[in-house]
Structure 1
Amino acid sequence: MDIKKKLGTGIASAVLGLTLIGGGTYAYFSDSVTTNNTFAAGTIDLGVDPTEIISVDNIKPGDVITRDFELQNNGTLDIEKVLLDTDYTVVDANGDNSEDFGDHIRVEFLYNADKLDEVIYETTLAELKEMTPEAVNENVFYPLLGEQGLPVDSIDDLVVQFQFVDNGEDQNQFQGDSLELSWTFTALQTEGEDK
């Protein structure tokens, strides 16, 4: 055999050997299994009952109106914090207001119907409107709900007292006026945890 044939046969043998070795690395036993996994998000569902906390007519300086309402956790996740955002609009019947009607409405958040003399926090509607929702939580809801917040399926009673403050001065500018109050409650979840 000449050198070319020997060289060609050698190369062909080497390629065949490499092919067999390479092909052999793919020959193995195997098995596979598929798992079915689920991520289901929980829900935050804060309820307030009743949804109209106060509606009163013909108030005068010195009048006190007490109302109670429930904070309800109707979701599947615990609520850590409840925030309250206050907004209101004054309808000036005579166009003669030089002061904000909200400065003359005192608000007292009370613990519950059994302890009406225990005030959690006292302010005016005007001051409450300027407070951040986080500050309201720290001053009103945290003292009421504490570290536990509002667990799933729990209900907490809250009593609020409004007073048209009689400041001993002429308050005629408020005759016939109305104040439309909007409270927006926001619930926040507890911190994430290892599951």
Structure 2
Amino acid sequence: MALKKKLGLGLASAALGLSLVAGGTYAYFSDTEVTANTFAAGTLDLSVDPTTIIDVQNIKPGDWMNRSFELQNNGTLDIAEVVLSTSYTVTDANGDNGAEDFGDHIRVNFFWNEDKALLGPLSPDQVVFQTTLSDLQTMTPDAVANELFIPWLEERGGLNTGDSDKLYVQFEFVDNGEDQNIFQGDSLELEWSFEATQEEGESR
């Protein structure tokens, strides 16, 4: 009798185990939805036209050269500012410049940014700011500000997607009224680099 009882209990336990396994695989209703999500980064694409702003030969003290160029935003993101960096190298033709820097004698006269002028120029050739090439090397102005070098007159600078700013500038070989013969035959290679930066992030 005890053996039958043990067998019965064993069979009952096995049956219970099978029922638990079966219960664990019992089918139930379900529904699944899949979302398709995308993060696509925009682009900053600044171009300068023309890429050579000035190329002039045989200048002498007192000469000036007016030039213009465009900064264009061809990207998909608005540009907050365009920082201008200046560097140059001088070739001393006669080796007699000594401590004199040809860049001290080339003055840059910046005119109003007509596309951003808040007050508008009083005359077409009005100079907003002037400095020498040597001093400009230590500056990093925003080239697309409303009024270059005069931030307190600005509303909003920057360059929106698809927009362009036309800038006017004058280079002047300053005649200082003194002997400048040491610069005869010299040349100066100027590089202007324009770096565009994005606007601040925002809720999207």
The runs of 5 or more residues in structure 2 that have no matched partner are 115-120, 149-153
Q: 1:135-174 counterparts in 2 under 5 A?
A: 135-137=140-142, 140-144=143-147, 146=154, 147-174=156-183
Offset from partner CA, 1:51-78 (integer Å, 9 cap, x none): 1111111211121211111111122211
Amino acid at match of 1:176: G
Counterpart of 1:16 in 2: which secondary structure? helix
Deviation at 1:112, TM superposition (A): 4.5
Measured on the aligned residues, the alpha-carbon RMSD in Å equals 2.2
8 Å CA contact retained: 1:68, 1:158: yes
Separation of aligned partners in 2, 1:144 and 1:51: 23
The runs of 5 or more residues in structure 1 that have no matched partner are none
Aligned counterpart for 1:122 among listed residues 123, 126, 130: 130
Deviation at 1:46, TM superposition (A): 1.2
Deviation at 1:92, TM superposition (A): 0.8
Percent identical residues: 59
8 Å CA contact retained: 1:120, 1:143: no
TM-score, with length taken from structure 1: 0.85
Separation of aligned partners in 2, 1:104 and 1:144: 25
Q: What count of residue pairs does the alignment treat as equivalent?
A: 188
Counterpart of 1:136 in 2: which secondary structure? coil
Separation of aligned partners in 1, 2:25 and 2:49: 73
Deviation at 1:23, TM superposition (A): 2.4
Q: 1:1-195 counterparts in 2 under 5 A?
A: 1-2=1-2, 3-24=5-26, 27-98=27-98, 99-112=100-113, 115-131=123-139, 135-137=140-142, 140-144=143-147, 146=154, 147-195=156-204
Separation of aligned partners in 2, 1:120 and 1:22: 82
Greater helix proportion? 1
Deviation at 1:117, TM superposition (A): 4.2
TM-score, with length taken from structure 2: 0.81
